[in-house]
Amino acid sequence: MTRDFFKRTSCRACLAKSLTPVLSLGRQPLANAFVRAHDLTKSEKTFPLAIEFCGRCSMVQLSHVVNPAVLFADYHYLTSASAPLIEHFSSLANTIASHVSVHDLVVEIGSNDGTLLQALKGRCRVLGVDPAKNVAWRAVSLGVRTIPTFFSNALAEEIVRKEGAARVIVANNVIAHIDDLDDVVRGVRTLLDAKGFFLFEVHWVGNLIGKGGFDQIYHEHLSYFSLHALSTICTRFGLVLADVTVVPIHGESLQVTVRKSGSPSRRVHSLLQKERKIGLTRVSTYRTFARKVETTRRTLRTLILDLRKEGKTIVGYGAPAKGNTLLNYVRFTSKHLTYITDTTPLKWDRFAPGSHIRIVPPERLRTHRPDYILLLAWNYAPQILEKEKVLRKRGTKFIIPVPSVRII
């Protein structure tokens, strides 16, 4: 792809050509493009951010696709920066380990800094694939073999030639980042051995429009999957969507097991039924969601402007990508939030894209206690509220922005 972005005209899951626009969040910079101080005066690239619905297979996807070379050139998301994710990955590693022996190959697509594979090392042969070079080298330095490129059918063929087929392929929070899903699913079929399984986690669109937040919409997330859409893709490639569990990651994610043979479990049937019941297969459901998003924007903006008028100090907590969708959609800047804390050292002293609010280490909260904290990393609310007990006892209030604005 030579252009910075293009308009996608077909459904990624079933290839249908008629997609219905449901929500636009305007033009936004890339949610992970944290700005260095010396670049603050330069103009930022922005791209349309909107979602569309496929009436044929219930897929929800971004209207425009940003060139991955632009999107992942300077990537700052580290799995190991989030303690709850490390915990989740270590239990996932134990589950995988119980299905493999030391000679089996486990390949992770989107292996990031190697958090999952490191937990599996020694229990099987591990191989990571991740195109974000600045992140992949971290995995390599931990001794996790990582191919710093995009997963594709061609790469799958090469891995099979050099290493043999994989017993397990894992892909967490990465399938939604891929535009040419056909090539990746074909690659999975090429790489997987007959008895193996493909285990992946994706954010569930039912969470996005229900208990979750619209802020999970950003350019990296090209697809917002229902089980209906996932099962359409599997069927097209002759794969079996064998099992599904809803896991509490990024709100609610689907942990899906795909095999080359067998039949779907009862859990698959009942989730498909639930999706129909809650309206995930109807466009009207997404239109209602779009109206709720607009209400959240108005409520949050009024609240923060009123608090600032009263002279209250407000800061952000966590600088996740989703936080930037929210800040830019509601049009907040450093006039509204003094700073944002984050546990990721790579983000410190950079500025949030678009809003240009400075990111600082969490210690700043102890020296400059704010009156209000906008919880941008709201998906970790229980852990964070517990961790910040002392701050709350001293009077700092947390504002949870989604699915509807709450103060605690």
Instruction: Report the interface residues with ligand TYD, using CB under 6 A.
Output: 77, 81-84, 318-322, 341-344, 377, 379-380, 383-384, 387
In the complex with ligand TYD, the residue whose CB is nearer, 78 or 233, is 78
| Distance separating alpha carbons of residues 267 and 252, to the nearest angstrom | 16
β-strand 146-147 against 125-129: which pairing, if any?
Answer: parallel
In the complex with ligand TYD, the residue whose CB is nearer, 226 or 344, is 344
In the complex with ligand TYD, the residue whose CB is nearer, 48 or 84, is 84
| Distance separating alpha carbons of residues 259 and 276, to the nearest angstrom | 24
Amino acid at 203: H
In the complex with ligand TYD, the residue whose CB is nearer, 155 or 170, is 170
- Report in angstroms how near the CB of residue 402 gets to ligand TYD at its nearest: 12
φ/ψ region of 318 (left if φ > 0, alpha if ψ in -120 to 50, else beta) reads left
3-state DSSP assignment of residue 274: helix
State the SS3 of 388-400: CHHHHHCCCEEEE
- Report in angstroms how near the CB of residue 157 gets to ligand TYD at its nearest: 31
- Report in angstroms how near the CB of residue 152 gets to ligand TYD at its nearest: 23
* Closest listed residue to residue 191, CA positions, set 145, 152, 230: 152
| Distance separating alpha carbons of residues 129 and 152, to the nearest angstrom | 10
- Report in angstroms how near the CB of residue 84 gets to ligand TYD at its nearest: 6
Q: What is the dihedral of CA 52, 58, 60, 61, to 10 degrees?
A: -80
Only one residue has tokens 């986690």, namely 201
* Closest listed residue to residue 166, CA positions, set 202, 131, 194: 194
State the SS3 of 170-185: EEECCHHHCCCHHHHH
In the complex with ligand TYD, the residue whose CB is nearer, 198 or 218, is 218
- Report in angstroms how near the CB of residue 383 gets to ligand TYD at its nearest: 6
- Report in angstroms how near the CB of residue 354 gets to ligand TYD at its nearest: 15
* Sheet order of strands, 192-203 included: 146-147, 125-129, 105-109, 166-172, 192-203, 253-259, 240-247
**Residue 257: HSE in the Cβ half-sphere, 13 Å Cα cutoff:** 21
In the complex with ligand TYD, the residue whose CB is nearer, 387 or 406, is 387
- Report in angstroms how near the CB of residue 215 gets to ligand TYD at its nearest: 8
Return the DSSP state at 36: P
- Report in angstroms how near the CB of residue 317 gets to ligand TYD at its nearest: 7
* Closest listed residue to residue 384, CA positions, set 42, 54, 82: 82
Tokens of 363: 């210690």
In the complex with ligand TYD, the residue whose CB is nearer, 283 or 384, is 384
- Report in angstroms how near the CB of residue 130 gets to ligand TYD at its nearest: 15
In the complex with ligand TYD, the residue whose CB is nearer, 50 or 384, is 384
In the complex with ligand TYD, the residue whose CB is nearer, 114 or 318, is 318
CB contact at 8 A, 285 and 58:
no
- Report in angstroms how near the CB of residue 307 gets to ligand TYD at its nearest: 22
In the complex with ligand TYD, the residue whose CB is nearer, 84 or 148, is 84
Give ∠ CA 97-110-254 in degrees, rounded to 5. Answer: 70
